[in-house]
């Protein structure tokens, strides 16, 4: 079967025949260090690292650090950790700030060629003079400044002789261009803000459009991918490269990833963190890589997800169910099974010997002998789920009821004979009988039951806190409205169960980072803040398949 190519791969396959690319292809992943990476970035990472590995090329990690006030070094370390965790290693690590000197040189060159000028207008005046898509912009007197004056002013800007916003450097292109980005775009602005790498060396900083393409060209990036919002920036990207006679890097735009019921913007994620609505950038509800890792997602599941959504030229909203499908598919094959009881209800087996403990053998991974089996203790006092008992059966309820019977997974059939209630009428204990002939694997009882439930023996069970998660927002596209997206935050996005119980071996410390399937409940992982005195598990995903293949 011939594998189909995505449109970026088609462009690359066409290009590698061109002698310009004889050095091989080179891509880059250019995060701005102003927050943590999210799933949208994972899509871009999979695309860029995927292209490089498929076509034997290189991929650079380039920190796009041209906005000093929003960036800091802690984000740099977190970003590197996340990329490595996803399973990728870059060839070179660069910073746009490494090119501040080179970019300044390019600016001087454009001034000397008469195609850049220093403008004293305020940002309001510049916006006003820019016109609208229907109305051509107007030029001002600064546009006609001499080369010498422009050179002196740029140097004075660099030396700190002007206040923030007092002057900008602009490219002299065309104030009537139909593309607004070509109406004398700003190249440099004055900003007396120290930079996390260059300190106070610079007080002028290049704009994205003046930094990105040239950085690509300096690194000989052949294919520079970005999201669709940058389509209109492409003529400018090409203009700077052509005017400066640099390596012909090529910008290619693809559709950004949008996921239903969540947001995919660092700036908005930052607001959730700052407002204390979530527990930091790695809150398990967030679509950040760190959050997904803490939630129990695997790198493999995320890569598979990126592969399945593909790379297209049209924006869409992806169903969360696809992500869940990918992680279930991955964990189903690798996560050992254990038992947990989330909302415990006590069962006393009246006809079982108080002194006795039996050990029930359970496979760790059904159908995979290499993972072995374990012995789960069974005794007179058990925990079952409150949800697995109903005093009077509702329609289609086949689990335990008063007078009814059910199988305890891997153990015996029991029937419920009495219910103990507290003074408020809440059920606090069930008194049941077991059928000694009905032991799993050797059932001679002839009793038919319709359902099997899970259980733990009271003396062996270890208390734990279990956290269940739901969608982060209550509307499908919370990012659509700019300001009130916080009002759609789902207050029920986390459910904390304080009184859960788990199998004893889950308390072992070396289970950190290990994925488990809690039988009938879903996939779980120990939380990063869990400790021996207070075990905490996060549910990665439940077992219900909602995604239609």
Task: Please report, as ranges, the residues that interact with ligand ATP according to CB under 6 A.
Answer: 30-32, 40-41, 43-44, 64, 226-227, 256-257, 264-267
Element (H, E) at 75: helix 73-85
Examine the residue annotation and report whether 266 is marked as an active-site residue of this protein: yes
Grouping H, G, I as helix, E, B as strand and the rest as coil, residue 411 is coil
CB of 215 to Mg ion, least distance (A): 12
CB of 305 to Mg ion, least distance (A): 22
Residue 187 near residue 107, CB atoms below 8 Å:
yes
CB of 502 to ligand ATP, least distance (A): 36
Q: Which of 32, 109, 465, 476 is catalytic?
A: 32
Pick one of Mg ion, ligand ATP, none as the site partner of residue 385 (Cβ within 5 to 8 A by kind). Answer: none
Pick one of ligand ATP, Mg ion, none as the site partner of residue 431 (Cβ within 5 to 8 A by kind). Answer: none
Among candidates 101, 249, 236, which has minimal Cα distance to 170? 236
Q: Binding string, 32-71, against Mg ion, x = CB under 5 A? A: x---------------------------------------
**How is the beta sheet containing 536-541 ordered, strand by strand?**
336-338, 515-518, 522-526, 536-541, 462-469, 494-502, 340-341
Give the C-alpha distances (Å, rounded to integers) separating 481 from 67, 134, 267, 477, 484: 25, 26, 14, 8, 6
CB of 343 to ligand ATP, least distance (A): 37
Q: Based on CB atoms, which residue is closest to Mg ion, 75 or 117?
A: 75
Strands (E), 277-426: 316-318, 336-338, 340-341, 344-349, 358-363, 373-378, 381-385, 389-390, 400-401, 405-408, 413-421
Q: What share of the chain is helix, strand, coil (3-state, %, to 5)?
A: 35, 25, 40
Beta bridge partners of 181: none
Q: Based on CB atoms, which residue is closest to ligand ATP, 315 or 353?
A: 315
Element (H, E) at 331: helix 320-332
| Dist CA 37 CA 287 (whole Å) | 9
Give the binding range for Mg ion (CB under 5 A) out of 25-33, 167-175, 405-413, 432-440: 25-33
Q: Based on CB atoms, which residue is closest to ligand ATP, 259 or 345?
A: 259
CB of 329 to ligand ATP, least distance (A): 22
Please, is 254 exposed, middle or buried when counting C-beta atoms within 10 Å of its C-beta (0-12, 13-18, 19+)?
buried
CB of 70 to Mg ion, least distance (A): 9
Residue 415 near residue 431, CB atoms below 8 Å:
no
Q: Based on CB atoms, which residue is closest to ligand ATP, 238 or 265?
A: 265
Q: Based on CB atoms, which residue is closest to ligand ATP, 265 or 460?
A: 265
Q: Based on CB atoms, which residue is closest to ligand ATP, 223 or 328?
A: 223
Q: Give residues with Cβ within 8 angstroms of 4, minimum separation 6.
A: none
CB of 188 to ligand ATP, least distance (A): 20
Q: Which of 43, 145, 266, 303 is catalytic?
A: 266
Q: Count CA within 13 A, CB hemisphere, residue 223.
A: 31
CB of 360 to ligand ATP, least distance (A): 48
Pick one of ligand ATP, Mg ion, none as the site partner of residue 44 (Cβ within 5 to 8 A by kind). Answer: ligand ATP
Q: Based on CB atoms, which residue is closest to ligand ATP, 30 or 206?
A: 30
| Dist CA 225 CA 29 (whole Å) | 8
| Dist CA 60 CA 219 (whole Å) | 8
Among candidates 347, 342, 343, 338, which has minimal Cα distance to 457? 347
Pick one of Mg ion, ligand ATP, none as the site partner of residue 490 (Cβ within 5 to 8 A by kind). Answer: none
Q: Which of 70, 130, 143, 256 is catalytic?
A: 256
Q: Based on CB atoms, which residue is closest to ligand ATP, 181 or 433?
A: 181
Please, is 97 exposed, middle or buried when counting C-beta atoms within 10 Å of its C-beta (0-12, 13-18, 19+)?
buried
Pick one of Mg ion, ligand ATP, none as the site partner of residue 528 (Cβ within 5 to 8 A by kind). Answer: none
Pick one of Mg ion, ligand ATP, none as the site partner of residue 121 (Cβ within 5 to 8 A by kind). Answer: none
Residue pointed to by tokens 């919002």: 229
Residue pointed to by tokens 């219900």: 544
Examine the residue annotation and report whether 163 is marked as an active-site residue of this protein: no
Residue pointed to by tokens 């809150």: 283
Pick one of Mg ion, ligand ATP, none as the site partner of residue 527 (Cβ within 5 to 8 A by kind). Answer: none
Examine the residue annotation and report whether 324 is marked as an active-site residue of this protein: no
Q: Which residue is nearest to ligand ATP (CB)?
A: 40
Pick one of Mg ion, ligand ATP, none as the site partner of residue 103 (Cβ within 5 to 8 A by kind). Answer: none
| Residues identified as active-site | 32, 256, 266
List residues binding Mg ion (CB under 5 A): 32
């Amino acid at each position: 079967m011939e594998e189909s190519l995505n449109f970026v791969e088609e462009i690359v396959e066409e290009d590698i025949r061109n002698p310009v690319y004889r050095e091989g292809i080179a891509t880059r992943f250019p995060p701005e260090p102003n927050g943590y990476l999210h799933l949208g970035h994972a899509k871009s990472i999979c695309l860029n690292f995927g292209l490089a590995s498929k076509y034997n090329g290189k991929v650079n990690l380039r920190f796009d650090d041209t906005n000093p006030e929003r960036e800091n070094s802690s984000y740099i370390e977190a970003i590197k950790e996340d990329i490595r965790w996803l399973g990728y290693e870059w060839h070179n690590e660069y910073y746009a700030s490494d090119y501040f000197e080179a970019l300044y040189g390019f600016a001087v060159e454009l001034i000397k060629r008469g195609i850049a000028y220093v403008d004293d207008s305020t940002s309001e005046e510049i916006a006003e003079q820019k016109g609208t898509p229907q109305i051509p912009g107007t030029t001002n007197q600064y546009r006609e400044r001499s080369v010498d004056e422009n050179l002196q002013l740029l140097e004075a800007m660099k030396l700190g002789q002007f206040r923030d916003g007092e002057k900008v450097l602009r490219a002299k292109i065309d104030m009537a261009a139909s593309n607004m980005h070509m109406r004398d775009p700003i190249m440099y602005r004055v900003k007396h803000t120290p930079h996390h790498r260059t300190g106070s060396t610079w007080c002028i900083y290049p704009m994205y459009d003046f930094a990105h393409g040239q950085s690509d060209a300096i690194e000989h990036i052949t294919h520079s991918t970005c999201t669709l919002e940058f389509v209109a920036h492409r003529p400018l990207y090409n203009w700077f490269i052509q005017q400066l006679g640099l390596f012909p890097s090529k910008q290619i735009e693809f559709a950004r990833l949008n996921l239903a019921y969540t947001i995919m913007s660092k700036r908005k994620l930052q607001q959730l963190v700052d407002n204390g609505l979530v527990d930091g950038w790695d809150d398990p509800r967030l679509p950040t890589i760190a959050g997904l890792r803490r939630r129990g997602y695997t790198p493999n599941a995320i890569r598979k997800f990126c592969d399945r959504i593909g790379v297209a030229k049209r924006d869409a909203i992806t169903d969360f169910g696809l992500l869940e499908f990918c992680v279930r598919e991955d964990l189903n094959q690798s996560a050992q099974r254990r038992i947990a009881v989330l909302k415990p209800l006590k069962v006393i087996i009246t006809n079982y010997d108080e002194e006795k403990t039996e050990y029930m053998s359970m496979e760790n991974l059904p159908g995979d002998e290499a993972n072995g089996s374990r012995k789960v203790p069974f005794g007179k006092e058990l925990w079952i789920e409150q949800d697995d008992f109903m005093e009077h059966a509702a329609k289609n309820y086949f689990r335990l009821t008063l007078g009814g019977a059910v199988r305890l997974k891997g153990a015996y059939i029991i029937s419920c004979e009495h219910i103990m209630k507290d003074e408020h009428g809440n059920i606090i204990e069930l008194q049941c009988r077991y059928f000694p002939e009905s032991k799993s694997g050797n059932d001679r009882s002839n009793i038919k039951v319709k359902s099997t439930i899970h259980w733990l023996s009271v003396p062996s069970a270890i208390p734990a806190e279990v956290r269940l998660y739901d969608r982060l927002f209550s509307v499908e596209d919370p990012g659509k409205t700019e300001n009130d997206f916080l009002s759609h935050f789902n207050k029920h996005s986390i459910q904390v169960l304080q009184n859960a119980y788990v199998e004893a071996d889950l308390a072992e410390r070396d289970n950190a980072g290990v994925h488990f399937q809690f039988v009938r409940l879903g996939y779980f992982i120990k939380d990063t803040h869990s400790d021996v005195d207070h075990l905490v598990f996060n549910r990665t995903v439940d077992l219900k398949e909602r995604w239609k293949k």
